[in-house]
């Protein structure tokens, strides 16, 4: 069973490396990206990451529980509050929230309590909400890609479909 809601804390910096970010947080991240790593695995895409990034992931199966994920990430931030606020000029922070949207269920929303929002406001971070269709999270892509066919021989060759 997939989680109904997911959230991730993204801590990033162009001046601090992954190890320094991990030391600031006081706990190992779930995923990391090092500054200078390629953005894409595709060989033609030569862009590189400009920041070192640490991700801390949370998820829940509670159908109304996105706030549970955000609360857990906030507790992680609060444990490192003094260090994070001291280094706030050198780093950025976001909480990325993924809210499942399922037309078969009545509850396609989330609610954050006033207290939780006040505690979040202490930190220089953005909370980014992403509504994700349920089928996108649990259904693998099984549809084959359409095949490109060449036009009839009477037309001139196109760059996408050269004649041999």
Percent of the chain residues topping a pLDDT of 70: 70
C-beta neighbour count of 33 within 10 angstroms: 17
Q: What is the mean pLDDT of residues 107-124?
A: 83
User: What pLDDT does 153 receive?
Assistant: 55
Task: Please state, in angstroms and rounded to a whole number, the distance separating the CA atoms of residues 39 and 154.
Answer: 43
Q: Are strands 92-101 and 125-133 parallel, antiparallel or unpaired?
A: parallel
User: What pLDDT does 142 receive?
Assistant: 47
Burial class (CB in 10 A: 0-12, 13-18, 19+), 74: buried
Q: What is the mean pLDDT of residues 123-138?
A: 73
Tens digits of residue pLDDT in 37-58? 888 777 676 788 899 999 999 8
Window from 12-16, 70-74, 135-139, 151-155 with minimum mean pLDDT: 135-139
Query: What pTM, to 2 d.p., does this model score?
Result: 0.71
How many helical (H) and strand (E) elements, i.e. helices and strands, does the chain have?
5, 5
- Provide the residue ranges of all domains of the chain, joining segments of one domain with +: 5-136
For the chain, the average pLDDT equals 78
For 86-104, letters b (16+ CB in 10 Å) and e give ebeeebebebbbbbbebee
Residue 130 bridge partners (DSSP) = 98
Helix (H, G, I), strand (E, B), or coil: what is residue 73?
A: helix
- Smallest Cα–Cα separation from 26: which of 101, 78, 90? 78
Q: To 5 degrees, how large is the angle CA 124–CA 15–CA 7? A: 45
Provide the pLDDT confidence category of residue 161 given band limits of 50, 70 and 90.
low
Q: What is the mean pLDDT of residues 59-69?
A: 76
Tens digits of residue pLDDT in 13-42? 999 999 999 999 999 999 999 998 888 777
In sequence order, the 6+-apart residues with CB closer than 8 A to the CB of 79 are: 26
């Amino acid at each position: 069973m997939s989680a109904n809601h997911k959230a991730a804390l993204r801590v990033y910096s162009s001046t601090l490396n992954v190890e320094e970010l991990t030391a600031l947080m006081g706990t190992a991240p779930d995923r990391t990206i090092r500054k200078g790593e390629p953005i894409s695995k595709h060989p033609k895409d030569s862009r590189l990451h400009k920041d070192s990034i640490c991700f801390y992931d949370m998820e829940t199966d509670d159908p109304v529980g996105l706030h549970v994920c955000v609360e857990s990430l906030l507790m992680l931030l609060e444990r490192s509050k003094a260090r994070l606020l001291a280094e706030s000029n050198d780093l950025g922070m976001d909480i990325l929230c993924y809210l499942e949207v399922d037309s078969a269920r009545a509850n396609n929303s989330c609610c954050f309590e006033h207290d939780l929002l006040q505690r979040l406001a202490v930190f220089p971070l953005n909370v980014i909400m992403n509504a994700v269709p349920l089928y996108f999270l649990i259904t693998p892509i099984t549809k084959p890609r359409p095949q490109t066919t060449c036009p009839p021989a009477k037309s001139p060759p196109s760059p996408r479909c050269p004649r041999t």
